Structure 1
Amino acid sequence: MNGQTPARHYYKKLVPSLILILNCIQFLSHPAKADPILLAFVFAVYLAFIWIIPYVASTAVSLCIFIGLWLLTDFFWAVSGQEQGAAYFLIVFLMIYAAFRLPSRLSLIFTACLIGGNILLLSSQGGSLNTIISNISIMLGLYVLFSSMRFRREARKEAERNHAELAKMHVQLEHAHKELQKAHAELQEASVLSLRYAVLEERTRIARDIHDSIGHELTSVIVQLQSLPYILKSSKEDSEKIIQNVLSVARECLQEVRSVVHQMGRSESMVGLTALRGLIHQVEERSGLHVSLDTAGLSEESWPPNVSETIYRILQESLTNIIRHADASHAAAVISNDKSHLYVTITDDGQFTGSLTYGFGLTGMKERAEKAGGSLTFSAVQPSGLKIELSLPLMTMHKEQKDEQR
């Protein structure tokens, strides 16, 4: 019981049982005033008590059994008339068992009652004062001895229980420490990956800005330089004008490089329709491509800077691709909106018939649109040419405007 092994459990009952049996044999072998049958009966009751009491869980029931045995022993003592015989042995045995079995306070009270009962019985039978004092001293000494043994046993059990709990807590703490180490390692790995992703995203942004801005300007430079030899032969004034345009574009390229190097996330010069008209004017001057801008379906011209930049860069890259690859003479940009979306459509009359290869420019355009919460699609125009359709949500734009105003 209470976590003990079965062998130890039976040992704790066999030892007192053997003591009772040996003492019963000893008392029966010597003539006494007590009836041998009554003596054997009382010892048999004590023997049964030893084997039954461990299974009694209730303290009140255990106390009643102890009191019953005490009364039976006193009756046996009164009937037998023995002063130092079997009855006294059973009283002492009962007191020792109570010191082990009953709670501390109850065992002390029960022992005091046993001593008081002994004094009364000895006095009624004419016992001397020395005999009474001797019996009391023996009982007190045995009670203190066995009570201290019980206290040490309970203290040892408590220490073992505390040690087991501490060992369990230590195991739990080690497990928690390992979990924390694992979480720390995962967090460090996630931080490294997040940093790498941020660096990669920033590199992609810078590369896209260089491609969209500087690439567009350099395309204009190349087109004008390609036409310069022919113009030099025909008109000196036109050639000087082209050279001035090339220098102007080169300076703008330099400014764009500085902007990218200094990681200017947004450019105030790329806000609204004014910037788009300026871009179209530059393209027409430098390339000869005629570009029309239709804003008849536009009811709102106030856009957040990131949306303005998205439209500007996509229009810029679209015109650059038309100049480089489409061999077109005319391009058209239409901007409109409804209650939920802003729409930009760019078409040309170039040579595109349906086979489209996604390079860095087209991929960057789609990424810009998706990053702004919108979408970008490409389709063919009959009989030839390319249509680019951009859609951006207005609710996101309005929310960003309110956030920026805050």
Structure 2
Amino acid sequence: MRAHRHLKSILAGWRPAVFSFMDWGVFALRSYHYLLLSSRFFIESELTSRTWFNGIWLMMAFLVPMLFWFPGRRMNKGWFILLELLLGGSYYVNSVFHPDLASKADYLLPSLTMGYLMSKRTLWVIPAVTLIPFTFQTFLKSSWEQTLSIGTDNLLFCFIGIWVSFVAKAYHQKNEMAAEIEQQNKLLTLYAAEIENMTLLEERNRLSKELHDTLGHSFISLIMSLDATIALMDRKPAEVKERLIRLRELTEQNLDEMRSTVHEMGEEALSLKQKVEALVNRLREHTGIVLNVNLVGNEPPLRFEMQQTVLRVVQESFTNALKHGKASQLDLELQFSESMLHLIIRNNGKPISKLEYGFGLTTMKHRIEQWGGSLRVSSEEGITAMTQVRCEIPIKGVIGYDQN
């Protein structure tokens, strides 16, 4: 939540930087238009009631629409456009009938302003600014070409305003995406560091438990036996000798256990193929079963936890084939494609009449699904019975892929 709020604050900061500049620029152009119109009143020699009326009209045309849109404060663009067209547009038409009211009779900059503020609900502005010149065509006795030219100029400036608005929005979206990507990269870096710390802590806890379980009890037994032996050293030397011989044997066993533990730790540096081959060789040595192995493809770096998951599937499949299926032949195929690990284990044992996932395979199925993979077991009867375990795990673009 904190990161999300931080992202929103970053994106909110980009908006004023882009739109504020554009808004004030367009506002300044519109103000310049009305400043030109009002400059005519400063050169009037006398102020008549008609002059006052037109001055108030012009002031209302400038100020009233700003009640609904002002840069950084009010954003009701629809009402601004409507009032601008009614007050400013009508004053523009009036100035055409009375040329002495305006320094220059045109409606280009207000057309640009309305185009800049236009939305889907105010698309009617486009024909409105185009048709304004036709309201005084008869009075000016202008040709259709001249009238159309004035309307086209208004339309052109309206589209310039639309283009300016589009550029501002595109720039804002670009900055918004850049800020979001930067924030996502920061989050990913943070999450990667947290995952690495959690992995190191988990591995440290696992090693401490291994050492505690395998060596702690043995050394306690050694200490207690040595204490008892020391107490008997003067009174029963023959028994002490027997105890020391047994303690030596126990020490050798502890040393073997420690070597076994260290060996298992060292196996973490082995590839999955090497671990599978070691597992297969041990099974052949102890059971004498026919076991065919086919290892295909180049193995990418895999997380230790994913390797252990695949090895547990192999062990569970071998155990079920020998224990329940009474199989005499096993076929194992481990294949690596560009983005997928495929594991297939077949045996010729007794087919499964009613397929049910036991505790072991159910646990493995859930662990594989956590990696985004799938585990399926099938069994067929026939001349040559066959039971097959098929496992597929994505190995690229997921947390199981070790890029280091």
- Greater RCO, CA 8 A, separation 6+: 2
* TM-score (norm: length of structure 2): 0.45
* TM-score (norm: length of structure 1): 0.45
Structure of greater Rg: 1
